[in-house]
Amino acid sequence: MPATRLMPTEEAQELIDLAREIATKELAPRAPEAERDEVFARDIFRMLGAAGLMSLPYPEQFGGGDQASEVYLQVFEELGTEWASIGVGVSVHALSCYPLVTYGTEEQKQRWLPDMLSGETLGAYCLSEPHAGSDPAAMRTRAVRSGDGYVITGAKAWTTHGGDADYYTVLARTSDDGGRGISCFLVPGDAEGLSAAKPEHKMGLTGSPTATMNFDGVYVEEARRIGEEGQGLPIALAALDSGRLGIAAVATGLAQGALDLAINYANEREAFGKPIIQHEGLGFLLADMAADVASARATYLAAARLKDAGWPFSRESAIAKLVATDNAMSVTTNAVQVLGGAGYTRDFPAERYMREAKVMQIFEGTNQIQRLVISRHLTRR
């Protein structure tokens, strides 16, 4: 049951229709096997790039779609409805482009953005470290001046597309001045001294590689520093505000997929002489699931519209990420319950949806961090 969407323009509706068609015809058939075998579908990202769906938030002059947040996030949701790993991958790629688009010089944009926005190159975002996940100001990866550039040494954990990305947006320490001592760099994936550890064995999103990236004296020219030296943490935090909306949208799509599965099963499965959806106990559970999906969608769209209007949206972004991912965990868990014993088997994707939902509450800032962000906003006057 596709989500009902009131899109702002005819072009926006066409983008949603295109995303839904690709998700149904290309993503849905491949997702079960790829997730089972832990296969990274790099070709899907090239296809999405060719279709113009990898660059929707960014300027047309560099090959972007120049679409409002309200629009491109719903495209992310459509992709996530059929294959969460792809939805997350597109969101992470958009996140990796954000610093260059927002803080890069015109020369830097001309040099790298066209390939990034076309999907020819796939990006990754290196912020977290083994000991500094929720506290990025505590990072230890260092970028030391050397000649006309910097030498980066350290390790970045939990890197989506780690080992498979063509470039890495990296935050590294350039001085010991706390949060003001971090800078942002665009590191090519084939840089000497850059390597990926063995991919993590995850409980979900197994079609999306996640690895620690090791920087063993990686040299980057100064032209690859994005923004001013010491500006990295504000760049990272601004990027995360947008990235959290991307994850909220994908989590909503994942929940929609689980809801659709549960509704279809409940309409077909009979007990005591009628479809199980007609039994109040189950019908009410499905009603709660539908309400969770709709409220998640409304929450992330409300934050997106603030962003599109140029208003502050950091608090609303945290709320959207918190609500959408907690609701996704609830909806996918209940989808397993609706299917009963069948939901606990791998004959149906319900158990996969449930495993995929869990990490949504963790990455792009745990939901405990989202509560901290929200509470801090509430103390301001």
- Residues tagged active-site: 364
Neighbouring residues of 336: CB distance < 8 A, sequence distance ≥ 6: 343, 344, 350, 351, 354
Full DSSP string of 362-378: TSSS-HHHHHHHHHHHH
**147 vs 129: CA distance, rounded Å:** 27
Instruction: Give the closest residue to 82 by CA, choosing from 290, 356, 302.
Output: 356
The helix (H) or strand (E) run that includes residue 186 is strand 182-188
- Token reading at 345: 């088997």
**What is the phi/psi pair of residue 195, to 5°?**
-145, 160
Q: How far is C-alpha 180 from the chain's CA centre?
A: 26
Q: Which DSSP letter does residue 153 get?
A: E
**240 vs 234: CA distance, rounded Å:** 10
| Sign of CA pseudo-dihedral 250, 256, 260, 262 | positive
